[in-house]
Chains A and B, each alone.
Chain A
Amino acid sequence: MKQNPISFQLKLNPEDFLPASEEEKESLVIMRESVSFWKDGFRRLVKNKVAMVSVAVILIVMVFSFIVPSFYPYSYKEQIKGANNLKPMQYSEKELEAIEAGEKVFPHIFGTDKLGRDYAIRVMMGSRISLLVGLIATVIILVIGSAYGSIAAFFGGWVDLVMMRIVDIIYTIPDILLIVLLSFALKAPLAALTSLPGFGWIRTVGENLISIFIVFALLYWVGMARMVRSQVLMLKESEYVTAARALGVGNGKIIKKHLLTNCIGTLIVTTTLQIPSSIFTESFLSFLGLGVAVPLPSLGSLASEAINGLNTYPYLLFIPAALISLIILSFNLLGDGLRDAFDPKLKN
Chain B
Amino acid sequence: MLKYIVKRIGLAVVTIWAVATITFFLMNMVPGGPFLSEKAISPQAQAALEAKYGLDKPLFQQYITYLTDALHGDFGDSLKQRGRTVMSIIQTKFPVSARVGGISVLVALCIGIPLGCIAAIRRGKFIDSFISVVATCGIAVPSFVICTVLMYFFGVKLRILPTLGLTSWKHYIMPVIALAFYPTAYIMRLTRSSMLDVLGQDYMRTAKAKGLSQVVSIFKHALRNAILPVITYVGPMLAYTLSGSFVVEKIFTIPGLGGEFIGSITSRDYTVIMGTTIFLATLIVVMNVIVDIIYKIVDPRIKLK
Residues on A lying within 8 angstroms of B by beta carbon are 165, 168-169, 172-178, 180-182, 184-185, 188-189, 192, 276, 280, 283-284, 287-290, 300, 303-304, 306-307, 310-311, 314, 317-318, 321, 324-326, 328-329, 332-333, 348
Question: With an 8 A cutoff between CB atoms, is B32 at the interface?
Answer: yes
Interface membership of B277, Cβ < 8 A: yes
B182-210 interface bits toward A, Cβ cutoff 8 Å, 1 = contact, 0 = none: 00000000000110010000000000000
**Alpha-carbon distance between A235 and B156 when the two chains are bound, in angstroms:** 58
Neighbour of A333 across the interface among B23, B136, B145, B277, CB < 8 A: B136
A310-B151 contact in complex given A283-B142, A284-B142, C-beta closer than 8 Å: yes
The answer to whether B12 touches A287 (Cβ under 8 A) is no
Residues of A within 8 A of B97 (CB): none
Given the interface pairs A172-B15, A310-B156, A314-B152, the reply to whether A188 lies near B32 with Cβ below 8 Å is yes
What residues of chain B lie closer than 8 Å to A289, measured between beta carbons?
266
Contacts of B18 in A (CB 8 A): 169, 173
Cα separation A14 to B297 with both chains bound (whole Å): 76
Task: Find out whether the CB atom of B31 lies under 8 angstroms from the CB atom of A188.
Answer: yes
Q: Are A180 and B142 in contact (CB under 8 A)?
A: no
The interface residues of chain B lying within 8 Å CB-to-CB of A165 are 11
Contact A310 B19 (CB under 8 A): no
Find the A residue at minimum CB distance from B284.
A174
Interface residues of B (CB under 8 A from A): 11-12, 14-15, 18-19, 22-23, 26-27, 29-32, 136-137, 139-145, 148-149, 151-152, 156, 193-194, 197, 239, 242-243, 246-247, 250-251, 261-262, 265-266, 273, 277, 280-281, 284-285, 288
| A328 adjacent to B140 (CB under 8 Å) | yes
B139 lies within 8 A of A180 (CB): no
Complex partner residue of B137 from A178, A182, A317, A329, CB under 8 angstroms:
A329
In contact, A287 and B11 (Cβ under 8 angstroms)? no
B246/A180 in contact, CB under 8 A = yes
| 23 interchain pairs, CB-CB under 8 A | A174-B243, A174-B281, A174-B285, A176-B243, A181-B22, A181-B23, A181-B277, A185-B27, A276-B140, A280-B142, A283-B142, A284-B243, A287-B247, A288-B250, A288-B262, A300-B142, A303-B144, A303-B145, A307-B251, A310-B148, A321-B148, A325-B141, A329-B140
* Neighbouring B residues of A188 by C-beta, 8 Å: 30-32
A348 B193 Cβ-Cβ under 8 A: yes
A290 to chain B, nearest CB (A): 8
- Measured CB to CB, the nearest residue on chain A to B239 is A174
Point out the residue from A176, A303, A321, A329 that lies within 8 Å of B136, measured CB to CB: A329
Quick check: A172 and B11 within 8 Å, CB to CB? yes
Are B142 and A174 in contact, with the CB atoms below 8 A? no
Instruction: Please report the C-alpha to C-alpha distance between residue A304 and residue B247 in the assembled complex, in whole angstroms.
Output: 10
Given A172-B12, A188-B31; A177-B281 close (CB under 8 Å):
yes
What residue of chain B has the Cβ atom nearest to residue A318's Cβ? B149
CA–CA, A284 to B251, complex, Å?
13
CB neighbours of B285 from chain A (8 A): 172-174
